[in-house]
A and B are shown apart, each in its own frame.
Chain A
Amino acid sequence: MIQTGLIQSAHDDLVTDISYDFYGLRLATCSLDQRIKVWQLDESNGTWSVEDEWKAHDAAVSRLSWAHPEFGTILASASFDRTVKIWEQTSFVSAGDVQLNGSTPVQQVSGSGSSSRWAERAVLVDARGTVRAVEFAPHHFGLKLATISSDNQLRIYECLEQSSLATWQLSEEVDVTTLPSMSSPSSHSVAFATPTQTSATLDGASASLVAQALQQSQVPFQPRPGMGNREADGGWCISWCKERYWGEVVAAGCGISGTIKVIQVSPSRRPTTLLTLDPTPTGALRLTEGSVGAAPSSENEAPTPYAITSVAWAPSCGRSYHLIATGGRDGHVRIWRVKPAEDTDDTEGEGEPKWTGTIVADFDHHKSAVGRVEWNITGTVLSSAGNDGRVRLWKATIGNVWRPAGSIGVEQSEDSPDADATMEDNTGAD
């Protein structure tokens, strides 16, 4: 571990999220100060400098996501103001050229004093609560993004016009807590499935409620919290399956059930839960049986409800299984090994093949809530960050056992001169 750089003060208020672009040469940061900053790395000396900054939302910005560069330089921001905004860096410099497309008036955002080359392209206003997470889909599915908000809704948007980025269709809107599992008969779902319907925002939720009633099988794991409580739980986190082969699949965490749902959102069918990652023993039993929607018995309820606030789907990199990491308020970092349904030739009629998940690592080193888990680009190192002020890295051994692989702390070390020395060594190396 070597410290290689420092941004002394990134924002005027607490930072809420930072996100590297595709190449790691730029960094987008957002903050409670409602602003977004884009930083550029000077590779010759490892320093970062602000390239653009602007006021992005009317409330704190919660999360950022960069689109794949084949779509351009595009950033999505989620906010407590219940919106998601799509930003594009324009290559137009002169004022006359600002407007790139006609259908939506383009707002040239400008920071205090410094004008930004980032233009607001679209505002997605469907959420009825804080949007807590936003993530662009893997590029092979087109220019799409998923959002999750404190109203429990997972929303999938698709850009209809890539050249202007102005029109985003809400292609899916599902209540994660009540989403039926795939064991429910698919014929039923067709009746309510209007995935492209965007007008009535309540449809998604009510449709699944109807589905639930019809199937008599789906009982929410946790009693559905009242509206007043939603800000405290609701939807927390999402992560796309990076691989194309399995179609569009998102892992989403919602509420205080302590579980993650793996949800298929293929355009051709209505969303279904492929698998619920539930670390409680009975839950694990349920998921191996593949009957996630079965009526929960009393022992299913975890002693203390908690939220899984972070989920990260590892790039699979040729492995025959997926790795999904979770971090939650229970202070645990878990790594799930998820096996997609085996491909059989006659899937039709035989019923749906089932996805299975097993916990391959469960760490409570943080001893406090884990706010963030994230994989490196090859899915070989997991990082987790917790309220203990530590970032911990995890790697698999040759026997495929996950082990701690170092940590980073923000607390003054007992011999702090040492830390200074490390810093000097590094900067003085060239």
Chain B
Amino acid sequence: MHASDHLSVAPPLVELGGLSDLSKSGRTIHATASPLNETYAVFAASLLDNLPGKQRHASPDDQPIYFVSSEALPLSERRLFIGDTSIIFAALQNLVKTAKDNGLDLLQDEGSQRVIRKLALDYVNFSKECWIHITQTDLKPRQVPGDHYRILYTCLSLFAILYVPEYGLENAPVGDDLVEWLNVHFIEPSTEEGDHLSSLERPWEDETFWPYLTRATLRGLSKAVTFFLGTLSVHPSENLPRLSQSIIPLLNSQPKLQAYETEREFAYASHRWKEKVKALRIELDDVPVSDRHDDFEDWWDRFSDIVGILEGRGEVVQKACEELGADWKEVCVAWAVFVDTRLRRQDLPDIVAQVLEDMPPDPTNLEDMVHAALFTGDPLKALDHAAKLDPWLGAHLADIMEPLALVERDANEESGLTIRDFYVLSYAQYLHADPALWRITVAYMFSCGKIGARTADEVLLHVPLRLYSSGSSITSESNTDGVPEKGDLAGIVKDVNATCHEYQREGIRRTVCRIAAQTFVQKKEFGLALSYCSSAEDWAGLGRVVDRILQEYIHAAGPEQYTRYVFGIAPSLQAFRTNPGAQGVFIHRLMFAVRYAEFHQRLANGDFQDAAWDLVTMFQDDIAPKSWWGVLLCDAVQLLQYEPTPLFSYVSACVLLHRLDEVCTRTMQGSGEDYLRILEMKLQAGGRHDTQQQLQLARLALAKYFARCTMVGTGGTLINRRVGSAV
């Protein structure tokens, strides 16, 4: 939040004033932004201008890389605050959306207005609870001072009073509400002062006595005032005890708006009350000058000020406030209570503007600046200061301001952002500093139109899927959110998927699935990889996964591992066949992978007859890709050489021969690569090289087999029948 504008990294790279050393040693500074959060990696980089080989000054030993976050990470209670207030935010989003869907004008709809007020008060109460909680549990150094939530509380409650009044009471006088706000948040006079005075026998002899009374009067604290006025009954003056007895009932009977059914009655009562105050003034003016002071004070002046305040004399209010060291807020509030008792919200800015001319707000105090902007009816300025105070405040104020039509709803032509969206996105960017808050981050972003949605896309895409469990533990106190248990491989990817569904970001979902599929391929979790490919409808990717599995066969020593992998994915083949979206060519490749694995399975089980049949049908049904023909033909050799019984029918053997011929012919024509590539790889992996030799072996085996067939004469009958029945 209050991140300073400049940070000097530690340890420093150069000493104070030593920047020229940097370029002398051939160095400059580079920075790169992390996609994870708002962190920058800063490092001393080589000036690449005059490299290499040319003379360079010897570089220092250390080559540090500094990591600097532009935002303070929200931790502990701050996270809680962010998470809980996001629920209120979502409720308002919901309301706005429902109203829009139903064509409701939020400004005219009583129900909606009441809900907005309720939500605004929820923010007020929540910040209040946070503040109380923080001040009560002072255990460890907090990220933000507890005072921070008090400031949010004062700003939000002032906003609620001035801009989100109860439905139907927008035009009611605002004075009582304001004085209550001031008394809750800026307690004056202090309880200690009161305690001190009440402990004295003759409190009027204390220098704080009259200022206390004046302040309490300004604040409408009639009980305190009347108590101390009561002590004046024993004051040595002839007049003061009487006067103080006269003013006590006045203070106790000052009309409060809440006590009246209608404002008219309130106005009438105020008028009659003021008449009584005037009578007191006359009484006061009759006091002879000789009795107007005691040994300590000119009590008459002091008393007169109090009466002046009750009379509603603006100049007296202002003067009294100045003397008490009170600020512009106090003057404005007193004005609304005493000077202009019927002061409306819409009239407040005029008064405040006048007061601020004499008593400007403190420009170094953002809280004061927010208050002043809210008082003067300048929501834009209030947002500006609020966002500097805390991006959270800017965003949530702007979010309520828009449906209340306090800020423009049209997008800035240059940036394409509305005022609300600008502040909400600024807050979302602050949230992005903490990667664990990605769900909340994107929720805020998705509430900001097209630009917000596309921004959220980027964040969603970069949410670490954590599909691989690295050696380092990723659970930590500060990162309790969304870290899957070990074994819960697809925890986050499921979450991201669900979020994409929720906001209808199909393109992003597919990309995430493709990444997940690729990661699973690297982990050799081919079954998961295939299901993510299919979820992404990435058929080309599916083909690559199958290629990867086939490569397992090529590079592994034996086919056992390969068949294991394939049987892991075989069930998905069935699912793909029933999926109309699945594209044939890649499914075809998957079919080959499965069939080829079945072939090896049969070989391993000694089921040679069926293995031979498999081999031939892979050719006949055009399941085997051309690049694999060489491998299949070599696989055939051992079956052709099987002694106990011939395994191939004459026709099947002819199929093999035809394929072999095609391979050889094409090889002579120079395109053998198409047919022998895989065989070549397989041989290389086994430390051998000569594909031609292997093909010749296959041809020899075939020739011998044909010779056998001729000799036996009957060799193929059985098989012929089998092939025939299969067709």
> A5–B64 Cα gap in the complex (Å)?
10
26 A–B contacts, CB within 8 A, in A order: A2-B72, A3-B10, A8-B62, A10-B63, A14-B27, A16-B45, A20-B35, A43-B476, A96-B557, A130-B51, A368-B23, A375-B33, A387-B22, A391-B42, A398-B384, A398-B417, A408-B9, A408-B66, A408-B68, A410-B66, A411-B18, A412-B15, A416-B8, A422-B7, A422-B10, A425-B141
Q: What is the minimal beta-carbon distance from B674 to any residue of chain A, in angstroms? A: 13
B44 engages A378 (CB within 8 Å): no
Query: Can you list, as one digit per residue, whether each of B476-502 has a CB less than 8 Å from chain A (1) or not (0)?
Result: 111100000000000000000000000
B19 engages A15 (CB within 8 Å): no
Q: CB within 8 Å of B: which of A370-390?
A: 371-372, 374-378, 380-381, 383-390
Q: CB within 8 Å of A: which of B48-83?
A: 48-52, 59, 61-73, 75
Q: A388 and B19 in contact (CB under 8 A), knowing A19-B32, A377-B33?
A: yes
- Nearest CB in chain A to that of B453: its residue: A318
> A316–B521 Cα gap in the complex (Å)?
31
A24 engages B36 (CB within 8 Å): yes
A24 engages B462 (CB within 8 Å): yes
Max count, chain A CB within 10 A of own CB: residue among B62, B141, B451, B524: B451
- Nearest CB in chain A to that of B23: its residue: A387
B34 engages A24 (CB within 8 Å): yes
- Contact among A17, A315, A377, A429 for B45, CB-based, below 8 A: A17
Asked if B415 CB lies within 8 Å of chain A CBs, one says yes
A17 engages B479 (CB within 8 Å): no
Q: A101 and B10 in contact (CB under 8 A), knowing A3-B66, A80-B52?
A: no
Segment with Cβ contacts to B, from A65-73, A173-181, A261-269, A346-354: A65-73
Q: A91 and B10 in contact (CB under 8 A), knowing A31-B63, A372-B30, A383-B31?
A: no
- Contact among A20, A43, A62, A398 for B412, CB-based, below 8 A: A398
- Contact among B29, B75, B414, B522 for A400, CB-based, below 8 A: B414
Query: Can you list, as one digit per residue, whether each of B506-520 has a CB less than 8 Å from chain A (1) or not (0)?
Result: 000001001101110
Asked if A320 CB lies within 8 Å of chain B CBs, one says yes
Please name 8 further chain A to chain B contacts, defined as beta carbons within 8 Å, in addition to the given A390-B29, A398-B423, sorted by A numbering: A9-B62, A22-B462, A32-B51, A163-B548, A400-B414, A404-B5, A407-B6, A412-B16
Asked if B473 CB lies within 8 Å of chain A CBs, one says yes
> A368–B107 Cα gap in the complex (Å)?
54
Q: What is the minimal beta-carbon distance from B57 to any residue of chain A, in angstroms? A: 10
B40 engages A383 (CB within 8 Å): yes
A139 engages B511 (CB within 8 Å): yes
B36 engages A45 (CB within 8 Å): no
> A89–B519 Cα gap in the complex (Å)?
11
Asked if B28 CB lies within 8 Å of chain A CBs, one says yes
Q: A378 and B429 in contact (CB under 8 A), knowing A318-B451, A407-B5, A412-B12?
A: yes
Q: Which residues of B contact A396 (CB under 8 A)?
A: 415
Q: A419 and B40 in contact (CB under 8 A), knowing A32-B52, A387-B28?
A: no
Q: A317 and B455 in contact (CB under 8 A), knowing A2-B69, A389-B29, A410-B29?
A: yes
A1 engages B48 (CB within 8 Å): no
Asked if B459 CB lies within 8 Å of chain A CBs, one says yes
- Nearest CB in chain A to that of B46: its residue: A14
Q: Which residues of B contact A17 (CB under 8 A)?
A: 30, 45
- Nearest CB in chain B to that of A70: its residue: B514
Q: Which residues of B contact A378 (CB under 8 A)?
A: 429, 432, 455, 458-459
- Nearest CB in chain B to that of A405: its residue: B70
Q: A102 and B681 in contact (CB under 8 A), knowing A15-B65, A377-B35?
A: yes
Asked if B118 CB lies within 8 Å of chain A CBs, one says no
> A100–B414 Cα gap in the complex (Å)?
51
A409 engages B9 (CB within 8 Å): yes
> A368–B462 Cα gap in the complex (Å)?
34
> A375–B524 Cα gap in the complex (Å)?
35
Q: A62 and B8 in contact (CB under 8 A), knowing A376-B33, A411-B19?
A: no
B35 engages A24 (CB within 8 Å): yes
Give the total of B residues in contact with A, Cβ under 8 Å.
123
Q: Which residues of B contact A375 (CB under 8 A)?
A: 33
For the complex of A and B, 4 pairs with smallest distance between CB atoms:
A24-B36, A102-B681, A318-B454, A413-B8
Q: Which residues of A contact B476 (CB under 8 A)?
A: 43-45, 430
Q: What is the minimal beta-carbon distance from A21 to any residue of chain B, in angstroms? A: 8
- Nearest CB in chain A to that of B550: its residue: A163
Asked if A214 CB lies within 8 Å of chain B CBs, one says no
A43 engages B51 (CB within 8 Å): no
B684 engages A102 (CB within 8 Å): yes
Max count, chain A CB within 10 A of own CB: residue among B43, B59, B470: B43
Q: What is the minimal beta-carbon distance from A365 to any residue of chain B, in angstroms? A: 12
Q: What is the minimal beta-carbon distance from A368 to any residue of chain B, in angstroms? A: 8
> A388–B15 Cα gap in the complex (Å)?
13
Asked if B472 CB lies within 8 Å of chain A CBs, one says yes
Q: A389 and B41 in contact (CB under 8 A), knowing A9-B61, A62-B48?
A: no
B13 engages A389 (CB within 8 Å): yes
Asked if B474 CB lies within 8 Å of chain A CBs, one says yes
Q: What is the minimal beta-carbon distance from B475 to any residue of chain A, in angstroms? A: 7
Asked if B130 CB lies within 8 Å of chain A CBs, one says no
Q: A400 and B412 in contact (CB under 8 A), knowing A23-B462, A99-B685, A408-B68?
A: yes
Q: A25 and B30 in contact (CB under 8 A), knowing A6-B66, A71-B518, A389-B22?
A: no
- Nearest CB in chain A to that of B414: its residue: A400
Asked if B366 CB lies within 8 Å of chain A CBs, one says no
Q: What is the minimal beta-carbon distance from B113 to any residue of chain A, in angstroms? A: 27
B28 engages A6 (CB within 8 Å): no
Q: CB within 8 Å of A: which of B68-101?
A: 68-73, 75
Asked if A393 CB lies within 8 Å of chain B CBs, one says yes
Asked if B114 CB lies within 8 Å of chain A CBs, one says no
B551 engages A163 (CB within 8 Å): yes
Query: Can you list, as one digit per residue, whether each of B415-458 has a CB less than 8 Å from chain A (1) or not (0)?
Result: 11101001101000100100100000000000001111111011
- Nearest CB in chain A to that of B512: its residue: A70
Asked if A103 CB lies within 8 Å of chain B CBs, one says yes
A1 engages B6 (CB within 8 Å): yes
Q: CB within 8 Å of B: which of A99-127?
A: 99-103
Q: A27 and B8 in contact (CB under 8 A), knowing A32-B52, A102-B680, A317-B458?
A: no
Q: What is the minimal beta-carbon distance from B449 to any residue of chain A, in angstroms? A: 8
